[in-house]
Structure 1
Amino acid sequence: MSTSLPPSANTPAETTLWQGHTSQWVHFWYYFFCLLIAVGCVVGAAFTAGLSALGLVIPLLMWVVRWWVTKCTSYELTTQRLKISSGILNRKLDELELFRVKDYAMDQPLFLRLLGLGNLTLVTSDASSPHVAIKAIPGVEAVREKLRTAVQTERDRKRVRELDVDGSEGSIL
């Protein structure tokens, strides 16, 4: 027996607008450092009768864990929410209602821009996540535009407006 209520006429079906992961390029220097340690272990193995070759396990493990953590973090932008799923063994799902998004900013540092990637930062009125950073995603401009449109649509649907109050005198701006 199902206890879920059917969607009402003013509650449209939620659809996915975008899904993605942080690019592994964001860890370039970390991976480069792991590679240098591995090369050092291989070179050292020639002088230590192969004993330092055991040290290859450390950079390899560092590389795999960082890669896995990044790969296990996913983002899904729907018409109503931004869902952030993370964790390797223990999964965590954080959902941000789009009508709570107050501001969004996109930046593309030179290194990421050369790779066609960018960062998206959200400022929200959500108590559990006032700042949300989506780092090193491809097509960041298109994602930002989809987010902007979805936020405005969701605010209109819920009839939500942002109210700015000046903290020094309590006047409404």
Structure 2
Amino acid sequence: MNNDDSSVPASAETVLWSGHTSQWVHFWYYLFCIVLAVGIAFAATMFGLATAGVGALSYVALVIPLIMWLVRWWVTKCTFYELTSQRLRIRSGILNKRVDELELYRVKDYAIEQPLLLRLVGLGNLTMVTSDATTPTVPMRAIPGVEVVREKLRTAVQNERDRKRVRQLDVDSQDEGALK
């Protein structure tokens, strides 16, 4: 049997949307870093006054919340989404890069979630349920224009299913008991 899928016409793959997860997703973490930095600065000042300036070296501890902030920012910035007419590519990683691709015809369902903080800044989460064995759910967190991205995804999924002549088959396990 020939596994070559030559019956499917080749079409040019075009980029429909690309973007990053917003840093707003880490609001509470960044707020914690600020509170920690203020606490360290206050403690260093009090210790410095009590030891007649010897404790001024305690300000070096301010590098801890700064490093925490920068690492979280960098990890988030290194996650990149690219929605094309045929697949969703997710590139992530700082030192070790990972590229995960999801063929759009495998997308079964999608849902939008907009928590209050994200909604206030025009962001939302888009979660896809797929038939892919390695990634049954694919979350895209804190992306801008989530409704527009969902509509582009919906259209692209339908077009890709039509192009590949693939249909989703829903099997309900509860109905099996009724048949017996």
Common topology (TM > 0.5): yes
* Structure-2 residue corresponding to 1:71: 77
Partner of 1:107: 113
Q: Any idea what SS the aligned residue of 1:166 has?
A: coil
1:57-136 map, 5 Å: 57-136=63-142
What residue ranges of structure 2 are gaps of 5+ in the alignment?
Answer: 1-5, 48-54
Separation in structure 2 between the aligned mates of residue 59 and residue 94 of structure 1, nearest angstrom: 31
Deviation of the 1:170 alpha carbon? 8.1
Call closer, same or farther: CA 1:163–1:25 in 2, change over 3 Å. same
Aligned pairs, number: 166
**1:44 paired residue number:** 43
Q: Deviations over 1:20-58 (max 9, x none)?
A: 000001101100100111111111111222132121111
Which one-letter code corresponds to 1:119 in the other structure?
N
Q: Which amino acid aligns with 1:133?
A: P
- Structure possessing the higher relative contact order (Cα contacts under 8 Å, 6 or more residues apart): 2
Give the corresponding residue for 2:50.
none
Q: Which runs of 5+ in 1 are unaligned?
A: 1-6
Match of 1:166, as an amino acid?
D
Q: With structure 2 as the length reference, what TM-score do the two structures score?
A: 0.88
Aligned to 1:153: 159
CA displacement, residues 64-115 of structure 1 (integer Å, 9 cap, x when unaligned)? 0000000000000000000000000000000000000000011111111110
Larger relative helix fraction:
2
Query: Could you tell me how far apart the structure 2 residues matched to 1:132 and 1:149 are?
Result: 18
Runs of 4 or more consecutive aligned structure 1 residues displaced over 3 Å after TM superposition: none
For the residues of structure 1 that align with 2:169 and 2:177, how far apart are their CA atoms? 12
Q: Deviations over 1:118-171 (max 9, x none)?
A: 110000000110000001111000000000000000000000001112224289
Secondary structure of residue in 2 paired with 1:50: helix
SS state at 2:134 partner: coil
The question of whether the paired residues in 2 share the 8 Å contact of 1:102 and 1:162 is answered with: yes
- SS across alignment from 2:171: coil
Q: Contact 1:165 / 1:171 at 8 angstroms: preserved in 2? A: no
Compute the TM-score of the two structures, normalised by the length of structure 1: 0.91
Residue 94 of structure 2 aligns to a residue in which SS?
coil
- d(CA) in 2 for partners of 1:162, 1:79: 18
Secondary structure at the residue paired with 1:11?
coil
CA RMSD between the two structures: 1.8
Question: Larger Cα Rg: Structure 1 or Structure 2?
Answer: 2
